Structure 1
């Protein structure tokens, strides 16, 4: 049957309006030259005379049809029945109230004649006219709901819910056949289908007038969002869920040693970082609870305090996890952040690899696992959540690549700005390294595809400009505080030997299956900074993949990314292994630049992990597409297994942590620390021994301490250092703790101690059992002129501000 136009009218309890509507439709179709037409009324289980009125119209004109539902299932179900029963080259759907008069069909028809696949009647486009308005509150709620829908689901279309739409018939039947929603959300579902298929959609301004008795309520917009959310959840493939659960299981296994008893287990390879990070989560939660400034605190480093924004407190996680910290403590909150964040990072890389590189889920999962659980990531998993909670980085990468396509520059730029803003509150150094990695990839891609680069650079720069316009106002105050606020500093120097040695890339990390402390410790700054250590089998496999897939532009760009990041990570000087030859390194060009001057250059090698994961995913996808019995398929899979097996991570080592002395745990300290006074742990806390921070968190941050573990300024040039500015007493007690030797106590030393205690506003000095505790006790007794007192498991000296 040849039909030029089908009109579909969904109807539910429309006995008062349906008759005049059908008459108006038939009259217009008869008077205008529309060719052969049909009119389908879908009764959605009405309980009034709707079906009878439609049946009478069908009896009077064979071009009118009635489809009846046995019960009310929703507008989406009715539209699906009507469209799938249609034969028209074009299909118009219109509500039974004719809020948009049928004469507006001419405008929609012209849009399809001009080449669009669908035309949407819009009340929001310039040129639209609105007759009778709804109640102001109802109209405001409706506009708000429509704004949320188009922002979340169909950006770029202002009026998704107008019930007057014209479609190309075949495409409409395909889209409605694939639809699943029964309610109002089907409008958005169909538009999403058209957009994914690349079928152009026009939004055409129309005349519209509110009709009394409208079935649409403001809460229906909420239902649309709920329907779309449920649809998206159902659309998740089971395999994707299993991949996510696998990543979570890997993350939990890695942290299993601490999950056994979070409050009493400690990662010794984190050195003092676990104490520091638990304190960061505790102080943020305390600031949130009491509405204090989250960017500064005087709980440690009394009296100067600590610039929290200039330290990586990860406000993007520590703030939302504040309730967990309040209820379960900072140790559990830190575990949740690191375990969940690592799994989320793997899922994020998996989605990026599937979207951008390979469709094969298994290949994408293996690539994402390497990107997330590579030896450098496992090394940082001991102590640095800011370097393992990287789930925003793949989103930033994807949005940058979308900008290169130039399709929706403003929207993608805004999202990139929001993503960047949030990442700043998760970790600025990882963001800088990610930007460096993206730049290496884009330069590599531009070198092999100059025409693509020529077309991409304008929308990319424009989108980056939009992103900066969004980001800068949102982070201006926190960044000003970070760089110019109290206790801010210029840069943190990490010494002359902060780069990777070339052999580190070929070696195995301490927590890798083939690694050991003996083979790795001398090649890294410490066990939290094993930033290379990919192992020679993986390096060899990556080289083979690049050679085999060299024809692909993405492979060449990824190879540039890996080589560029590896070379930069070698530092300002490259020492050739087994020789005395020292070559200048490319990092020398960046090391003194703003922002880069505080970066540990060895960490640039972490950029290699996702790039290698992507190369591996490409190779596995190629192998998966090979004939099952092909010899090279088995050889390739064997090579992948042999390359990954040596770097499989073992669970991180955990030990029982030092117990908090009863003096602190029982609250005895309250009788010794007056208002505005501090408790001084001995030795004074610093990056080498930050157990005092653990005491603070155990005491609910009830007292303040001098010293501590943080980044702060030192000297007139405000150079960044780890820990407090040096004080005589702190230095002396640290020397006694490390050496066990009691120094000669002179009047000058006693005067210096009195000055420091006044500076620290000290109320009590506390010496817990520890290494060389006897020498420390003797030294303090001589300095203070009296012996300490044993109270609840510690030696105490009640000093009351040095008096």
Structure 2
């Protein structure tokens, strides 16, 4: 409403602002109140603004008299100002009825509701007006948020009763709003008239009922700190508290009878979208494989299987020697998702790890989308369509779909929105201890779901907080103390729960220092603007594979139309602090994902990358930097939700048409195709029928030829199908290498494992000499090998000949595989 360029005249002749004041026997206070409001709206010229429209444009004041028996009506009718109007009711029916009558009579584009005592000074209107200018449709003058000041306090008993009632209202009717009863609120005019017309309460509970209506309608509302002082002569008597309780009970009962169908539909749609994405495997997980997962599906099924086996046999869930024998695997140093795999042990034992993994990834992706939807509705955009589209982008963006092939730790992210919500609650400073404790528990649980996603989420929150603090310094000043205190409380709760597993992870058996990633583990600027392989309409497998080092790490690929849409949103809604902060978060994350250095496309210019600042820091040294671009997904999703919410609220059809067309053109190319699935390679009968039991004794291992590694981990599938009955030499996991314990993928290589892998890749039989045979005996003894097993595969003839030369004996064909029984002297 503030117009520094002069007064605004509404083309329709309707006022810019309506001030609605409920009144009952207010003859002693009303004159001062009307003078104060008229002078302020008239920019303090002393004549109520009759000399001009003033800083607030054209205005009106509507006094809603609730059957007063004193001179309240005469004070209004005798004033010589047509902008001050009176509406009346024959008898006293309550504040709610008066407000409903007054708001219905209002005509302003914005409506201010204020009590006749002006406990909140009219000057605070400027704060509320600023909040509406930032995209909200309702601004609540609040005494309970950081930055609010209270002058004269109420009597202690009244204050305690008010707080108790407010807690009840927040718990049952208007969640998330801390001060529902403050009588100073500014609304979009049409929203106010709609909400008050829908109200049924005649008493003091109408404030809660109206806010509840706005929340359920998806209207963005915000609490704004104001100055407030108790005024004598309150009309609230002891019995009114009982009446309010009854009204709140009725409102809450109506809420229980009428849940929001849109929220249920959204959750169902997210589930259907997830099932459609995994449709190739979901209905037969034990016999279907996602080839674009490379070897990760086998690895993750093994993770779930080994955790269930450890839990069932009361073994340490942080370690196993079933793979990488005899050294074993530090499970905490691998992403085994103990937060899922441990509680789902009964399902894994009953149905198998393939079923568990399929359900975790399908339901986890849907739960992640539902969590982002809930967060967006609560803080960003109340409109359910806007929230659905934003959450869908956050959860089904191309990088999420890429990881959906076989990285559940980057798919099951439903805790991240909950952690963000708890951090935002801390900023309000109301229940710091409780929220800090809950945040600590949530963070501890997320550690057991995935540490890297938690680290990236923390980085994203820090980027957002820095940007938001820069544009809203008042909010930052009011929030940093309770936030810091809550974070310290959360850390004191979280650390004792995770300290032992983390010590095991970083200093336990088979721990490692850092790990070398693919040299292409950064994003090209082109990757940010291109389309992913699994994008249904615009997917380009050749280009995507050229810009990412494998199909599970296409961590950007948002497409240039979405980038243009985000830029348009930023330009159009630049005044909103939230838009600025989200845009900065997305741009900064995308920039960090470019790695230690990046080349400007189509030029030979190479510049230092911002990741250089973090690359060698603790924790960050193990992060694949291209994954930082995943932070962009929820940031872009929230920007999209804000824009769609704004589009749906506008009445200008041309803007709505162009806006919806832009949204469709940006999102349609990103719609993912179902993940590609193929029939799974059958497990050899030697394993499936249990024949292996005659060849492997206690303390020995089964050695596949070649040994399993990140390039071929089918032997992990053998092991899970055999119920983890034998130990494997080699494997696919993260472990140490050399005296410096540098992290590598797979077991520490030995002479024989390297030799067999080379033969498998090349098909060439090497000239095996005596020294090679001696080295093979040493390696087989190290692995405590009971049997060598060669399954049919490419170049299996060369492998068979090589093994025969190494062990000095021919193999035997047993149940579909070649076998060398080392216990019989082979």
> Which category describes the TM-score, using the shorter chain as reference length?
0.7 to 0.9
Residues 459-484 of structure 1: CA deviation (Å, up to 9, x unaligned):
11111100100000001111110011
* Mapping for residues 481-496 of structure 1, pairs under 5 Å: 481-496=504-519
Is the counterpart of residue 179 in structure 1 residue 203 in structure 2?
A: no
For normalisation by structure 1, the TM-score amounts to: 0.73
1:606 to 630, 644, 649: 630
- Residues 112 and 168 of structure 1 are in contact (CA less than 8 Å); yes or no, is this contact kept in structure 2? no
- In the aligned structure 2, how far is the partner of 1:690 from the partner of 1:559? 41
Contact map agreement 1:284 1:318 (CA 8 A) in 2:
yes
Q: Does 1:358 align with 2:428?
A: no
User: How big is the alpha-carbon RMSD for the aligned residues of Structure 1 and Structure 2?
Assistant: 2.2
**Matched residues in 2 for 1:234 and 1:266: separation?**
45
Task: For residue 570 of structure 1, give the secondary structure of its aligned residue in structure 2.
Answer: coil
Instruction: Work out which of the residue numbers 507, 518, 524 in structure 1 matches 2:542.
Output: 518
Structure 1 residue 452 and structure 2 residue 475: aligned?
yes
Q: For 2:559, which of 532, 535, 545 is the aligned residue? A: 535
Q: Is the 8 A contact 2:521 2:625 kept in 1?
A: yes
Task: Give, in whole Å, the separation in 2 of the partners of 1:659 and 1:233.
Answer: 52
Match of 2:128 in 1: none
2:632 matched to 1:562? no
- Cα 1:235–1:318 shift into 2, 3 Å: farther
CA distance in 2, matches of 1:169, 1:315: 55
Tell me if the contact between 2:518 and 2:549 (Cα under 8 Å) persists in the aligned partners. no
Q: CA deviation digits over 1:13-38, x for unaligned, max 9?
A: xxxxxxxxxxxxxxxxxxxxxxxxxx
| Structure 1 contact 269–527 (Cα < 8 Å) conserved | yes
Helix, strand or coil for the counterpart of 2:744?
A: strand
Matched residue pairs, number? 604
Q: What secondary structure is seen at the aligned counterpart in 1 of 2:513?
A: coil
Distance 1:309 1:171, change over 3 A: same
Counterpart selection for 2:618 from 580, 586, 594: 594
- Say if 1:305 and 1:236 are closer, same or farther in 2 by CA, change over 3 A: farther
Are residues 774 and 586 of structure 1, via their aligned partners in 2, closer, same or farther at CA, if it must alter by over 3 Å?
same
* Cα distance in 2, alignment partners of residues 576 and 537 from structure 1: 20
1:705 aligns with 2:775: no
Q: Measure how far apart 1:175 and its partner are.
A: 3.8
Of 810, 814, 819, which aligns to 1:787?
A: 810
Tell me if 1:693 matches 2:716: yes
Matches of 1:266 and 1:480, distance apart in 2: 35
Equivalent-residue separation in structure 2 for 1:449 and 1:477 (angstroms)? 40
Is 1:396 aligned to 2:466, yes or no? no
2:57 equivalent in structure 1: none
Q: Does 1:281 align with 2:351?
A: no
Task: State the partner residue of 2:293.
Answer: 270
Secondary structure of the 1:528 match is: helix
Instruction: Find the partner of 2:461 among 419, 431, 438.
Output: 438
User: Who is 1:63 aligned against?
Assistant: none
> Which among 376, 385, 389 is matched to residue 408 of structure 2?
385
CA contact (8 A) 2:529 2:557 kept: yes
**d(CA) in 1 for partners of 2:513, 2:408:** 23
C-alpha deviation, 1:230, in angstroms? 11
Rounded to whole Å, the distance in 2 between the matches of 1:114 and 1:632 is 44
Partner of 1:376: 399
Match of 1:137?
A: none
Deviations 1:397-425 (A, max 9, x none): 11111111211111111111011000000
Which of the residues 647, 663, 666 maps onto 1:640? 663
* 232-241 or 283-292, which deviates more: 232-241
Question: How much does 1:327 deviate?
Answer: 1.1
From 241, 248, 264, give the equivalent of 2:264.
241
Question: Are the structure 2 counterparts of residues 620 and 792 from structure 1 closer, same or farther at C-alpha, using a change threshold of 3 Å?
Answer: same
Aligned counterparts of 1:776 and 1:119: Cα–Cα separation in 2: 74
Equivalence for 1:21: none
Write the deviation string for residues 303-360 of structure 1: whole angstroms up to 9, x where unpaired: 1000000000000111111111111110000001000000000000000000001110
Instruction: Point out where structure 2 has 5 or more consecutive residues left out of the alignment.
Output: 1-154, 170-235
d(CA) in 2 for partners of 1:491, 1:231: 57
Q: Which SS does the other structure have where 2:823 is aligned?
A: coil
When residues 301 and 113 of structure 1 are mapped into structure 2, their CA distance, relative to the original with a 3 A threshold, is closer
TM-score by length of 2: 0.71
Structure 1 position 578 matched with structure 2 position 648:
no
Q: 1:652 to 1:233 in 2, by over 3 A?
A: farther
- The CA deviation string for residues 632-680 of structure 1, in whole angstroms up to 9 with x for no partner, is 1111011101110001000000011111000000000000111111111
Match of 2:653 in 1: 630
Aligned to 1:766: 789
Work out whether 1:409 is the aligned partner of 2:432: yes
2:347 pairs with 1:328: no
Q: Tell me how far 1:173 sits from its aligned partner.
A: 2.6
Measured in 2, the distance between the counterparts of 1:325 and 1:111 equals 52
Aligned CA distance change for structure 1 residues 633 and 240 (closer, same or farther; 3 Å): same
Q: Corresponding residue for 2:313?
A: 290
Counterpart of 1:101 in structure 2 is none
Cα–Cα, structure 1 residues 474 and 236, in superposed 2: closer, same or farther, change >3 Å?
A: farther
